Amino acid sequence: MCGVVGAIQRGGGVVETLLQGLRLLEYRGYDSAGVAVLEAGAISIRRKAGRLERLEHSLSDGTLSGARAGIGHTRWATHGPPSDENAHPHTDAEGRVALVHNGVIENWAELRAELEAAGVRFASDTDTEVLAHLVGREVARGRELPDAVRASLARVRGYYAIAALAQGERGPRIVCARSGPPLAVAAGPDGVYLASDVLALIAHTRDVVFLEDGDVCELELGRPLRVTRIDGTVVDRPTRRVEWDPESAGKGSFPHYMLKEIHEQPDVLARTAFDRLRLDKGDVDFGVPGFGDHELRAIDRIQVVACGTALHAGWIARYLIEGLARIPVDVDYASEFRYRDPVLAHNTLALAISQSGETADTLAALRLAKTLGARTAAICNVVGSTLVRESQATILTHAGPEIGVASTKAFVAQVVAAFLFAVRLGRARGVLSLAQGKELVSELRLLRPKMESLLGERAVSEVRDIAQKNRSQRGFLFLGRGINYPIALEGALKLKEISYVHAEGYPAGEMKHGPIALIDPEMSILVVNSAGPLAEKVRSNLEQVRARGGHVIAIGSDRESIAQSDEHVLVPECSEWLSPILNVIPLQLVAYHMADLKGLDIDKPRNLAKSVTVE
């Protein structure tokens, strides 16, 4: 997934505006970056492989500082390795049109062959350059830029969020379009703007228009934003108010976004849950349609679809919903669900979980479920995202913008939302009594100080010591049972994605069916165990590990496990239903400190992107 920005400003200085936007979007892709600006009617391009700072350095000569209109891009390579030549923007052969793109043009090869047969010479390995040549050819045939873009997109199959500008037009104009990856546009007091994430817009205005798939938008100073479909039909898109605080998108005093976001989690719990709790009724009120008793009683089965960390929240949702609402729940990788020709039971609710609301596999899985007759709901963190707009009901998580590529606070918010949903569902179906509902709601309210205790100086230094002692281990096995089995998966994923060490999450009961062969002193086994009905079972798994010389790190509130382990983090006791929210915090910190000790780039881990908006 890449970052796309564009702006036309009254007072010039568009290069700095583009760079500000790209800095905020660099988490979306960071193996190369570039800008194209209109300077005295001609297009000037600067683009560099590597981090954004290399592009900033190449622009520091100030030669383009007077430009008023421009587009910019940070890339996560899909076609062609990161290089100056493959960095966006791309142009047509004459340099009349410049274009940036997030997504994949699936029929790029046949279009490239057609263009090469017509004598076009390509300068890069990218699919994007194909589109630049198509648009340039339409402009050369006399079409204005908007029509040229629409005619070119009519020939494209794939996913895209693009922005283009052309020289020789009557005045500065940018044309952008989306089908798949997100794109938002806005008109502020000082200019008009576009970006693939609202984060890059709210510094200019909070009133934003989220484009829909198939939309094309024309941006010009002094004219309203003009949105059409690819066939040219004019459409009206609502302006939405984005309440996010630009400050919250900064790192504050933290060295990394990820650490800041881990420490934000107690607040995220409060923001996501507290105004939805109805203690007197032992219930939850989401304040939006779709979660009333009538709708919820019509559900007989739930199918969860998600990816990565969001899928781990989905696994936890299964334990919560089956445990508290007694409805059967299936959970599947969205990328598997969409291609396995699934069979859905009657009265199924498809529940998609996603931080960004733009993950291609999750969107495709939800759309498939809809065609199979399922009702749809989402747990999502971005109000104007595609997932929210395509779901019949949404539980918004109020985690705020999550910049760290490794998801932390959004995960906790998803688990909180799943807990709220399970309580609402259980109460609507009469499975949870008033007294049980009140107890669960009270337990959630008591969780915040317990989360904060795990983020205190002593607790964090304990975890840093664990990371220090285990940093050279050959591999890591994370074990858990029941509702904490998905926490073992999540702990392993966190360690993998930011420390680049091999780690595997496993159900503790499965260890003896194979993984036990891995155990030796160079292997660290993190055992997640909370006081409760399964604690004794996990303890015996822990013993089996120690009997084979494995190095055991116990995480949880079960004190006997703590006593039997080589190292530990003691977690405060709480309702077992809520224990994943506490147990995940030390695991997030282990991953963070391991990566920090290794000197790795924690907020922009290699090969990863914040939201995978292509397959």
Task: Please identify every residue annotated as catalytic.
Answer: 2, 610
Binding mask 4-43 toward ligand AGP (x if CB under 6 A, else -) reads ----------------------------------------
477 φ/ψ sector (left φ>0, alpha ψ -120 to 50, else beta): beta
- Residue 397 in contact with ligand AGP, rule: CB under 6 A: no
- Residue 303 in contact with ligand AGP, rule: CB under 6 A: no
Provide the minimum distance between the beta carbon of 595 and ligand AGP in the complex, in angstroms, as a whole number. 12
DSSP 211: P
- Residue 307 in contact with ligand AGP, rule: CB under 6 A: yes
Burial (Cβ within 10 Å: 0-12, 13-18, ≥19) of residue 5: buried
- Residue 128 in contact with ligand AGP, rule: CB under 6 A: no
- Residue 164 in contact with ligand AGP, rule: CB under 6 A: no
Provide the minimum distance between the beta carbon of 331 and ligand AGP in the complex, in angstroms, as a whole number. 14
Provide the minimum distance between the beta carbon of 489 and ligand AGP in the complex, in angstroms, as a whole number. 11
Provide the minimum distance between the beta carbon of 405 and ligand AGP in the complex, in angstroms, as a whole number. 5
Nearer Cβ to ligand AGP (201/591) = 591
Q: 364-377 burial, b for 16+ CB within 10 Å, e for fewer? A: bbbebbeeeebbbb
Residues 591-610 close enough to bind ligand AGP by CB under 6 A: 608
- Residue 359 in contact with ligand AGP, rule: CB under 6 A: yes
Q: Do residues 404 and 603 lie in contact, with contact meaning Cβ atoms separated by under 8 Å? A: yes
Q: Say whether the peptide bond before residue 605 is cis (omega within 30 degrees of 0).
A: no
Provide the minimum distance between the beta carbon of 385 and ligand AGP in the complex, in angstroms, as a whole number. 9
Q: Do residues 356 and 413 lie in contact, with contact meaning Cβ atoms separated by under 8 Å? A: no
Stretch that binds ligand AGP, among 109-117, 352-360, 367-375, 569-577 (CB under 6 A): 352-360
Q: In the chain, what's the furthest Cα-to-Cα distance? A: 78
Residue with tokens 């997932």: 387
Provide the minimum distance between the beta carbon of 543 and ligand AGP in the complex, in angstroms, as a whole number. 32
Here the tokens at position 546 are: 């120690």
Residue from 355, 530, 541, 579 touching ligand AGP (CB under 6 A): that is 355
Q: Do residues 335 and 307 lie in contact, with contact meaning Cβ atoms separated by under 8 Å? A: yes
Residue from 5, 379, 423, 612 touching ligand AGP (CB under 6 A): that is 612
Q: Looking at 292-424, which runs of residues are DSSP E strands? A: 301-306, 329-333, 348-354, 375-380, 393-396
Here the tokens at position 78 are: 């899909």
- Helices 434-445/409-428 angle, 10° precision: 170
- Residue 356 in contact with ligand AGP, rule: CB under 6 A: yes
Nearer Cβ to ligand AGP (523/612) = 612
Burial (Cβ within 10 Å: 0-12, 13-18, ≥19) of residue 301: middle
Residue from 200, 406, 570, 581 touching ligand AGP (CB under 6 A): that is 406
Nearer Cβ to ligand AGP (167/355) = 355
Nearer Cβ to ligand AGP (70/182) = 182
Nearer Cβ to ligand AGP (460/612) = 612
- Give the number of residues written for the chain: 615
Residues 491-550 close enough to bind ligand AGP by CB under 6 A: 497
- Residue 309 in contact with ligand AGP, rule: CB under 6 A: yes
- CB-hemisphere CA count at 13 Å for 308? 23
The C-alpha torsion from 381 through 387 and 388 to 389, rounded to 10°, is: 150
Q: Is 47 helix (H, G, I), strand (E, B) or coil?
A: strand
Here the tokens at position 441 are: 């709601």
- Residue 205 in contact with ligand AGP, rule: CB under 6 A: no
Strand partners of residue 186: 193
- Residue 403 in contact with ligand AGP, rule: CB under 6 A: no
Sheet-wide strand order for 234-235: 90-91, 97-105, 158-166, 174-179, 215-219, 226-229, 234-235
Provide the minimum distance between the beta carbon of 184 and ligand AGP in the complex, in angstroms, as a whole number. 16
Residue from 145, 262, 310, 432 touching ligand AGP (CB under 6 A): that is 310
- Residue 354 in contact with ligand AGP, rule: CB under 6 A: yes
Residue from 362, 394, 470, 524 touching ligand AGP (CB under 6 A): that is 362
DSSP letter string, 248-282: GGS-TT-SSHHHHHHHTHHHHHHHHHGGGEEGGGT
- Residue 460 in contact with ligand AGP, rule: CB under 6 A: no
Q: From CA 525, how far away is CA 330, in angstroms rounded?
A: 29
Q: Is 153 helix (H, G, I), strand (E, B) or coil?
A: helix
- Residue 405 in contact with ligand AGP, rule: CB under 6 A: yes
Provide the minimum distance between the beta carbon of 356 and ligand AGP in the complex, in angstroms, as a whole number. 3
Provide the minimum distance between the beta carbon of 453 and ligand AGP in the complex, in angstroms, as a whole number. 24
Q: Which residue is nearest to ligand AGP (CB)?
A: 308
Stretch that binds ligand AGP, among 244-252, 350-358, 417-425, 448-456 (CB under 6 A): 350-358
- Residue 428 in contact with ligand AGP, rule: CB under 6 A: no
Residue from 102, 205, 272, 407 touching ligand AGP (CB under 6 A): that is 407
What DSSP element (H or E) covers 495? helix 485-499
Which residue type sits at 159?
Y
Give me the residues that bind ligand AGP (CB under 6 A), please. 307-310, 354-356, 359, 362, 405-407, 497, 608, 611-612
